Structure 1
Amino acid sequence: MTLQDVAMHQYASTKFTDTGSEPAFDEVMVEKTITLYLNGNRLTSIVTTPGFGKELAVGFLITEGLIRSLKDLEEIREMDDRVELRAGIAQDSELEYELRSSGGLGLRRSICDAEVFVPVAQNFSIGVLLASLKYLDDETQKKTGGAHTATLVGADGTLRYKAVDIGRHNAVDKVVGQAVLHGDDLSRMFLISSGRQPAGMVMKAARAGIPLIISKAAPISSGIDCARQTNVTLCCYATREKTKAFSSPDRIIIGSP
């Protein structure tokens, strides 16, 4: 597993309490904008944490439904502030965008893609799911308080991929991109996300073929609806002791898988 180097800058601040003030210093996450080009056309610009730009771009194409696998991708070129991709598909010149609850842009589609359905091919032990929440712990979040984390974990509890970003959508795209570029089978892993789970987040996992999402955060009604339609197991309000499954609970087993 390759870990992402997260860029941080130290800023001076003034700490105030009810008894006075004092100088302080804080680590703050750095952001940059990268632009994605698909088949020579500008696709979108994404505000992200520097690092894993190529993985972010590939993950974005997968999770937004523009390509289905690495086989669709012919070329990837990453430069300082842009990633150019060439795919053997016809790009819709009339792509529309939507502003999502995170403030980020995604491609506008029906809320849930009717053709996306994730079969029950892999079960997951509740013990493994709850124990794996430890992978959300991250020094960047402890230092800055501004990070979202996404991880992909195998059914045996092995951490496979991890990404940290200022955006919860970006973090998911980065781990999906890592897995796709390594040729791994996403249907045998589950996704741990630090963020809320509206439709846009759930559909990223569903399009990538990820069968289960677990998050410490809350679901949104659109996310539950999409999870039920696509047969993704959506677990939220997770702690080290419990979680609640809002869809497809049959993938979760008590005991060892």
Structure 2
Amino acid sequence: EEQNAFLEHWETRWAAPRIHGSTRRQVEAMYQEERPHLKALPISGVQYFKEVQRTVCDDTCIRIDHSSYAARPARIGSRVLVRLFEHYLEIREIRSQALIRTHARVDRPGTVVLPDEERLFNPSRETRTLLRQAQEIGAATHQLCQTLFAREGRVGQRKLWGIVGLARRYPSRLVEQACQRALTEGIHSYKRIKALTEQLTAQALEQLNTPAQTEPVLTQHHRLIRDGQDYADLFTLGAQQSASLPLFNED
């Protein structure tokens, strides 16, 4: 209150009656002349943004910080201009910079900002390529990818890319086992499927590092094996008989 009162006094006593520059006119008089042409100040201040270009993907979305944002009516494969503000983003045409869509920015990576009515469920060439690669890994992998596509549409192809990409880092049979478990347990998260694959790989490596089993202990007692003393007596008898035999000279 004191500051506002001081400012009001200063403006009335000193600023308003001040003679301005070479025009030799009072500031207050010039302000009253221009006042009808002045507009209200904007509610918010100047907002800074960063501009990037993106390509509209097969699922009609663009990718920003590992998240997807709907870009319709921009065509699939076209380039768009994206203005990134602190809390929201704008999708614009590159040439005219006409506004296409506005979205609130999300913090969680992997979030899909796409209305259900805009999801595409018809398979594209990219979809068929992914399903073919999944079939090469195994039947369970192929079935899981089909289930994910039927559940999420083209926007779910990001998960499909991740699943088929696991076969480049882990044995295909382990990826197949992980997908089989995912089908059995109703898992639809790529992160959990990846975790299952890593778990199976760790178990397989642990089995390889386990030392081989020691040689089996020889059987000492059996009905077909005589007592050791019997063999000793036999050898003693043989030695005695050999000693009683006459020696023959070559002469």
Q: Please tell me the TM-score bracket, short chain as reference.
A: under 0.3
Q: TM-score under structure 2 normalisation?
A: 0.23
More strand as a share of residues: 1
Q: Greater RCO between the two (CA within 8 Å, min separation 6)? A: 1
More helix as a share of residues: 2
